[in-house]
Structure 1
């Protein structure tokens, strides 16, 4: 039997005033139901912007360690550089740099008005990376546009108006971009190959938010778990990879399961990727949509507050505090599927 390949969907028809996009909506719904992953083309992010993003990403991670440590993130400020990321209490073989949505972009990043639950943005020394900040901010805005388009499409695929899912994202969402660098060596021990540690680039997990829009290079390492088998996500030239997260699984009442995925540790080639995590406002409360529940399909989850869920999950990035917070903790006992 040939290996499964996640679908490639052209999203260019989305966002029009007429409805030639019904086939696209249907394809997205089918991909969410069967895979939780899909490639997208027709996303309208300019190729020259993507080239600049790659250049700045590689330039940043090539900086001396001391220059990166200046913007190290912490439990108090989750934005910045880090090389000790944990997933499910196991250290990932990578370095990361996070930056996120700024509530008041006209003010300084460190202004109290720009402090969020996740912290505030910090940027590398402009003398070392003069184009890093403007390029990354431009890319953030481009991903934001794509994510809103996709979330509206997912809403329609579930039979609800497009703005049903986006109202907790408009203006004040808590999304962030993560720059991932997977070296061929353990980032904490330059002499030790990453593949010899027994760890992975990222350990198996589901994404906590609504959806993830991923830009990754041509190194095959991302895998999804389908029916108990790990399936490699082969890169598609010019495409972005999208996966749904726990919030969509809850909204859909398990109709669209958030996929378990992982990243292999790098071996003979370095790897880079940039996920955009699309997350709602901290005070957002999500639960199964009324449109997908009835007497035969009762709600399987009690309401979840995003800010609380995000905070508990975020703390597990830095230390082992026991079992990681999961949406399964919010399942309603006795309901079918619980």
Structure 2
């Protein structure tokens, strides 16, 4: 996560969602339609990205059994004994793996009440960027004795890579750019897949306590699969919070910081948070799409208008700052 927010707004209750605020978009006509159909879907996506930075996506082509398998893998892992999960700890030397909740933390606005398992695509080492090899050129850490976890994760990563590349073309068309504008920047993307486990917040927790504090995502976009338990909340432009509950068969897509920079602020990277105030544990599986690490992200020339609102940022440097937060203390730092 990139920008985080700690303000009095965090204590505000979230209103029930309206699909006029977070629209439901059928991606099927984009995947299988003609040029006019593809442009129509891209325009729908663009409106959502301009208004709130979030939308639901159906007709995405990812088989439901692939999604079900990663949720089963996540539930299996987080149900394992603490000592077994601990054998897969992420460390400052090996950034992939399991990140537990801090053992001792007061319930406050800064509380981090979720566990996470982090994975990435495994690409050949980039010898032109040895500075960041320790972060990006590692293999995934897999839980011991859980072959189905690895298979489900790899199948899901493949599906997300394919869907992500199609979404990039929709974003490009929605911005009025050529459809393939982003293609060459996603050849070996250091995108991250996370399995998140959110316990139920204590019943006596203050209103400003969240499982995950208000934040934005650092990459261009995120593809989120939610379990049947809600808890995701999104901030509107007017500062009000709304709930974004799961919709069966749909992914929740949100714009991240890099897409906001590419669009020169036209698409908004919006604040969101998680509060599990139900009586059931919650799981989510976000896929954080990232461009190739050599890419320099900056406003696209056609969208600059009166001037660029954001300076150029090299992906490797930007992501390294994010991942190196772990080096402070991988089991106590908010991520």
TM-score by length of structure 1 reads 0.82
1:78 pairs with 2:95: yes
Three-state SS of the structure 2 residue aligned to 1:124 is: coil
Deviation at 1:291, TM superposition (A): 1.1
1:310 pairs with 2:319: yes
Coordinate RMSD, CA, aligned: 2.6
- For residues 38 and 30 of structure 1, the distance between their equivalents in structure 2, rounded to whole angstroms, comes to 10
Match of residue 212, structure 2, among 185, 190, 202:
202
What corresponds to 1:98 in structure 2? Answer: 118
1:69 pairs with 2:86: yes
Alignment coverage as a number of residue pairs: 300
1:260 pairs with 2:268: no
Deviation at 1:208, TM superposition (A): 0.2
1:225 pairs with 2:235: yes
Three-state SS of the structure 2 residue aligned to 1:215 is: strand
- For residues 82 and 194 of structure 1, the distance between their equivalents in structure 2, rounded to whole angstroms, comes to 25
1:173 pairs with 2:182: no
TM-score by length of structure 2 reads 0.83
What are the ranges of 5 or more consecutive residues in structure 2 without an aligned counterpart?
1-14, 126-132
Change (3 A) 1:116 1:2: closer
Change (3 A) 1:60 1:203: same
Structure with bigger helix share is 2
Contact kept? 1:39, 1:241, Cα under 8 Å: yes
What are the ranges of 5 or more consecutive residues in structure 1 without an aligned counterpart?
106-113, 186-192, 325-338
The 5 A counterparts of 1:137-216 are 137-170=154-187, 172-184=188-200, 193=202, 196=205, 199-216=209-226
Contact kept? 2:122, 2:137, Cα under 8 Å: no
Change (3 A) 1:118 1:218: farther
Three-state SS of the structure 2 residue aligned to 1:13 is: helix
- For residues 3 and 268 of structure 1, the distance between their equivalents in structure 2, rounded to whole angstroms, comes to 20
Change (3 A) 1:154 1:196: same
Deviation at 1:284, TM superposition (A): 1.1
What corresponds to 1:287 in structure 2? Answer: 298
- For residues 114 and 325 of structure 2, the distance between their equivalents in structure 1, rounded to whole angstroms, comes to 16
What corresponds to 1:243 in structure 2? Answer: 254
What corresponds to 1:270 in structure 2? Answer: 281
Q: Which has the higher contact order (CA 8 A, sep 6+)?
A: 2
